[in-house]
Structure 1
Amino acid sequence: MSGAFSLINMHYLLGGLVVTIVVSVISILISFVLGTLIGIILFEKVPYFTKTVRFISNTIRNLPLLLLIFFTFFALPKLGVELNAFAATVVAMSVFEASMVGEIIRGGLLSVGADQAEGALSTGMNKVQTLWHILLPQALKKSIPPLISQFISLVKDTSLATAIVLPELTFRSQVIYGQNPNYMIPMFITIAIMYFIINYGLSLLAKWFDKRMV
């Protein structure tokens, strides 16, 4: 059993943890930017454009993330877009999470009182200035806890990339216990602890923001 925790295995497993973290961070940043834009579009109700964005966003949100990962990795090359496992995972997760973030941001904007916008417009601000300086900052502040919760799900969902052989944490644990079935339980426990540390840290951050906003 102790062989499962050999220096070589732990070094290999930590390399997978690095891949998981890098994929998560990049996907979080991209999905946050895209999701914020989607949320604004959904909130502003731009004729025709908003309906199109809402349809696409709703469609993506109701698809399995694994299906999107398969599509970016296996189907896009048929359309002339070649992506390696890392890029395919980032693209799929960013698009999927952006649709989720968009709804969170839209909800945050709706939670800001209409009187805030009316007051800003009455001072001479235009709609863009009102959105950027008054509505969006308040909406983002209110959206922080649900955003962090969504990003916790994103970190856990990186394990789905095992299906396209991305050498992240779960995949590397499979490689290790594939050498010796007796290593399976130790590896499951080890990666569970690693995922727990990352996600529990994020959940504590969400609670901290919650208390700050009360």
Structure 2
Amino acid sequence: MQNVWKVIADSFPVLMYRGLTMTIPLTLISFAIALVIAIIVALVQFSKIPVLREICRFYIWVIRGTPLLVQLYVIFFGLPSVGVNVEAFPAAVLVFSINEGAYAAETIRGALESVPAGQMEAGRCVGMNYGQIMWHVIMPQTFRTAFPALGNELISMVKDTSLAANITVTEMFFQAQRIAGRTYQTMALYLEVAVIYLLFSTLISLLQRFGEKKLGAYGRQ
């Protein structure tokens, strides 16, 4: 038992370091890119541009209908067979961004459609053009509506980054596997890394609640 606690104590700073320097950056970079993709895709669908709308719907259909792990394998292990080599970390960022972008696009699209149609007409009545109405009137309301769901998706992404271990990204779970292979304390180490994921998720949940309160207060002004 003493040996187990020693392994846990020794591995904690190593796992936490990997979490802060690899897992969290992978999550934040991927989520930021995903939001850009999601906003573009949602706006295209909201604007009802015929051809582009169908392309966006096809993208969402394919990405949401295939497993994230398979997408990782296609990019990291599949592309080299056709002469395209992608390093592990960029491959993970690419896949997580595209995957999350599809889910977030539907969240934002739903939030856009929840804004009353009269808001657009009101903006035109005061002399705003389409871009100004979207930026100053529609998007702030959309963001407030979508914020809780996007926060939940961010939490899910933190946990999903553990799948990046399958393509050799040295994130937190990959590091736990390495230590477990050396010490044979698999149960203790996997429970430990689970607790660290829980800590990260809890912190994001607290930030999410804080953001929701702030946005709620802003909306009442």
TM-score range, shorter chain: over 0.9
Alignment of 1:52-131 (within 5 A): 52-131=55-134
| Contact 2:16-2:196 within 8 A present in 1 as well | no
The runs of 5 or more residues in structure 2 that have no matched partner are: none
> Partners in 2 of 1:54 and 1:122 — Cα distance?
32
Instruction: Decide which of 40, 45, 49 is 1:42's aligned counterpart.
Output: 45
Between the two proteins, the alignment pairs up a number of residues equal to 212
Q: Deviations over 1:9-49 (max 9, x none)?
A: 33432332121111111101111111111111111111211
The runs of 5 or more residues in structure 1 that have no matched partner are: none
> Partners in 2 of 1:12 and 1:205 — Cα distance?
25
| Contact 2:41-2:105 within 8 A present in 1 as well | yes
Matched, 1:203 2:205: yes
| Contact 2:8-2:192 within 8 A present in 1 as well | no
State the AA in 2 paired with 1:71: V
Aligned to 1:188: 190
> Secondary structure, in 3 states, of the residue corresponding to 2:50?
coil
> Partners in 2 of 1:134 and 1:51 — Cα distance?
26
What TM-score do the two structures reach when normalised by structure 2? 0.90
Using the TM superposition, give the Cα deviation of residue 142 of structure 1 relative to its aligned residue in structure 2, in angstroms.
1.4
Report sequence identity in percent.
33
Aligned to 2:165: 162
State the AA in 2 paired with 1:171: F
What TM-score do the two structures reach when normalised by structure 1? 0.92
> Secondary structure, in 3 states, of the residue corresponding to 2:25?
helix
| Contact 2:46-2:109 within 8 A present in 1 as well | yes
Aligned to 1:19: 22
State the AA in 2 paired with 1:104: T
Shift in CA distance, 206/14, structure 1 to aligned 2, threshold 3 Å: closer
